[in-house]
Amino acid sequence: MTMRIGRGPAALLAGALGFALVGCASNDATAPSAAGSASGGTAPAGQPDANGDGKVVIGVLSPGDINDNGYYESFVVGAEKFATEKGWQVIKRGNVPPTEALSAARALCQQGVDLVALGASELKDAIPASEEPVCAKTSWYVPSSENIPQTPRVTLSSDDPNQSMLAAGYATGLVMQAKNATKAGFVTGMEADFSVNAAKAYKAGIRMVVPNATLVTTYTGDFNDSAKAREAVQAQISQGVKVVYPYLGGATDAAAKLANTGGALTLTPGTDRCDSTDPRFDISVIFDPGAYFAAALELFAKGEMTLGTTKKWELGKDPYPAVKICKPTPEQTQKMDAFVADVASGKTDTAATVAKLGS
């Protein structure tokens, strides 16, 4: 069952699924990087002090609330933690409208940043600034989605959303099975390809455990509108939903709190919040953009952030993505570990499973 509540500006969660590092045009020569892949890659000379001013400054722009306790905040927290350890500075700005992305990026470059990091691919319109004189000695980190192609001057990092969302559904199926529940809910923002596909993979994962399960999916039209999110959650609970996945941005906590009040179990959209008590979460679905960004900054610090290469994060092979039941039984832990191992080995074909069970 699918429901829709209005339309509105979307702060896309698709940015959670990767990054692109764009090397800006400059007069500096580039040198081969030790981190290059088989496809070849180079790292601009001078990293991490790309502009050679004797200090390292990271500039972060986000289309969402950088204090949302979710996706957007985790991106900034990861950068600040790493920068503090290195003695670097971070300049950050949240709630940047896509229409202002280009001017906001130029402003960061004017402040002498060495790296411009965009918190989501929704701000991709800022990328042309990378070729302008004002940004001539900066590198750029941009969350990647299908609309950002691989080029010789872009380093992409990606994961397979089918893996994390199928795993999220499988974990949900395990807790539903324990409670003899058969109906789950999925509340998200804009009805875009990535959110539609995420719902399908989530449903498929649930049905691997509870074959007769149904999923009520609601598109509110806005990932950050708390009022619309609460309206959607309330409607789902009224329909007998026992688990609500708030696949949202700034509206995540509002949705989760109402789900708590209504007695429904909840999941996180990207971060590990098993220790949270207000709201409570029962499953953490971890595709933490802050962790991905920190990995990129690690290479940047070593002068090894290469262009023209791709890093793909895989369930069961890398620390992230990951899914964990916050208070699992021993049997649930065993089954979850076996599921992840099967995905990692290829025994479970995620795409085929989603196609078979997600419709």
* Residue range 299-330, pLDDT digits in tens: 889 998 776 677 788 999 988 899 999 999 99
> Cβ(251)–Cβ(259) under 8 Å?
no
Q: Are 213 and 340 members of one domain?
A: yes
Q: Which amino acid is at 34?
A: A
Domain with 168 in it: what CATH number?
Answer: 3.40.50.2300
Which residues form the domain of 155? 57-159+290-313
- What gap in Å lies between CA 261 and CA 276, rounded to an integer? 15
What is the distance in angstroms between the CA of the first residue and the CA of the last residue of the chain? 11
User: In this predicted model, what pLDDT tens digit does every residue of 185-220 receive, in sequence order?
Assistant: 999 999 999 899 999 999 999 999 999 999 999 999
Q: Name the more confident of 12 and 178.
A: 178
Full-model pTM: 0.77
**Total domain count, the chain:** 2
Return phi, psi of residue 185, to 5°. Answer: -125, 150
Same domain, 227 and 188: yes
Asked if the model's pLDDT at residue 2 lies above 80, the reply is no
- In eight-state DSSP terms, residue 9 is -
C-alpha to C-alpha distances, 121 to 16, 293, 310, 340, nearest whole angstrom = 9, 14, 16, 28
200 and 338 together in one domain: yes
User: In this structure, are 85 and 197 located in the same domain?
Assistant: no
Q: Are residues 228 and 152 in the same domain?
A: no
**Same domain for 342 and 324:** yes
- Mode of pairing for the β-strands spanning 42-44 and 30-32: antiparallel
What pLDDT, on the 0 to 100 scale, is given for residue 78?
81
- Give the pair of three-digit tokens for residue 8: 């509105």
Give tens-digit pLDDT for 97-126.
Answer: 999 999 999 999 999 999 998 888 788 888
Distances (CA, A) of 228 to 65, 189, 235, 280, 355: 17, 9, 11, 20, 30
Cis? peptide before 246, omega within 30° of 0: no
Beta-strand (E) ranges in 271-330? Answer: 283-286, 310-313, 322-325
pLDDT higher for 311 or 75? 75
Q: Is residue 255 part of a domain?
A: yes
Domain assignment present for residue 341? The answer is: yes
Q: Same domain for 294 and 340?
A: no
| Whether residue 338 sits in one domain with residue 309 | no
Residue range 237-266: mean pLDDT, rounded: 96
- 185 in the same domain as 298: no
